């Protein structure tokens, strides 16, 4: 898709209240978002420190053999090397395997229930159906806004586990933490027809808060954009400089990231 996200305008109180671009050009490097994030979102990011323990201390990530491809320039001022072996990423592959609309649709339970049920799945499908005919930029914005309205709930509270990667139907029923927002957005856009190679769930380290976090990056042509539960707008990756990517992943491959020299 060669759509230009920057041409799509949204109502943005952070940019002075009028209709502005998807990012705020008057606030370079998202300094405003960093200040808001630091004040209001610290507790959310601390939970995603569970991801940090798995990502930044993992011997696998430090020594993974990605010599099949030369380093290439990537987002967030990094380089990347691709690898098609997804076996080490059991949380991710497990979420992909659990993702089944038929299984979700068979679930019973009342619409007000807090467990996975057909009603929560139906609400998700109804939302996607409502934006199916819109242009790609609008769909990205709508999916980001819709998922970001969900309450932030830790995996410990939801699942009794330190780190659980939920599928969208689970997220619709019980909400979740940072990687769950990213996965819900990723799978929503897939159902809307976005190509696999144009999306990645990205594990990053927040260099301001020194903790792990997860986001979705979507590619349009040669540009890439951030869908983040900590940032209200969909913004260009060039406008975010406080994230250091560790790895990015989709259903076919993963990429190891290192800081660009």
Q: Which residues contact 71 (CB under 8 A, 6 or more apart)?
A: 79, 80, 81, 258
- CATH number of residue 74's parent domain: 3.10.620.30
Q: Please, what is the Cα angle at 71 between 69 and 77, to 5 degrees? A: 150
What Å distances lie between residue 235 and 24, 27, 105, 250, CA to CA?
8, 12, 34, 20
CA pair distance 197, 122, nearest whole angstrom: 27
What pTM was computed for the model?
Answer: 0.74
Give residue 34's domain range.
5-259
| Positive or negative: CA dihedral 48, 192, 171, 144 | positive
In this structure, what token pair is assigned to residue 143? 């999916």
Looking at residue 108, its pLDDT comes to: 58
Q: Is the Cα torsion angle 231, 4, 221, 259 positive or negative in sign?
A: negative
Place of tokens 């819109």: 134
Per-residue pLDDT of the chain (261 residues; tens, 9 = 90+): 444 443 333 333 332 222 233 333 333 333 444 444 444 444 455 456 455 445 544 445 545 555 456 889 999 999 999 999 999 998 888 888 877 654 555 555 566 655 556 677 778 888 999 999 999 999 999 999 999 987 777 767 776 777 776 777 677 767 777 888 999 999 999 999 999 999 999 999 999 988 889 999 999 878 999 999 989 899 999 999 999 999 999 999 999 999 997
Number of compact structural domains in the chain: 1
């Amino acid at each position: 898709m060669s759509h230009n996200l920057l041409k799509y305008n949204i109502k943005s109180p952070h940019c002075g209240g009028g209709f502005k671009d998807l990012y705020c050009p008057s606030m370079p490097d998202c300094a405003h978002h960093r200040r808001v994030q630091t004040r209001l979102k610290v507790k959310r990011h601390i939970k995603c420190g569970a991801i940090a323990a798995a990502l930044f201390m993992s011997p696998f990530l430090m020594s993974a053999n990605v010599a099949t491809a030369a380093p290439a320039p990537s987002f967030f001022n990094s380089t990347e090397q691709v690898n098609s072996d997804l076996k080490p990423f059991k949380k991710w592959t497990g979420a992909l395997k659990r993702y089944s609309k038929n299984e979700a649709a068979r679930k019973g339970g009342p619409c007000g229930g807090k467990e996975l049920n057909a009603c929560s799945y139906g609400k998700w499908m109804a939302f996607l159906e409502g934006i199916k005919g819109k242009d790609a930029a609008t769909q990205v914005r709508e999916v980001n806004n819709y998922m970001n309205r969900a309450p932030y709930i830790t995996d410990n509270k939801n699942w009794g586990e330190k780190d659980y990667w939920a599928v969208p139907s689970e997220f619709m029923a019980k909400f979740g933490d940072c990687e769950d927002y990213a996965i819900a957005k990723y799978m929503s856009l897939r159902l809307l027809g976005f190509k696999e190679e144009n999306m990645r769930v990205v594990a990053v380290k927040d260099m301001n808060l020194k903790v792990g976090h997860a986001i979705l990056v979507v590619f349009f042509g040669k540009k890439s954009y951030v869908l983040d539960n900590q940032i209200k707008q969909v913004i260009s990756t060039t406008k975010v400089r406080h994230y250091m990517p560790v790895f990015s992943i989709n259903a076919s491959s993963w990429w190891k990231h290192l800081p660009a020299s």
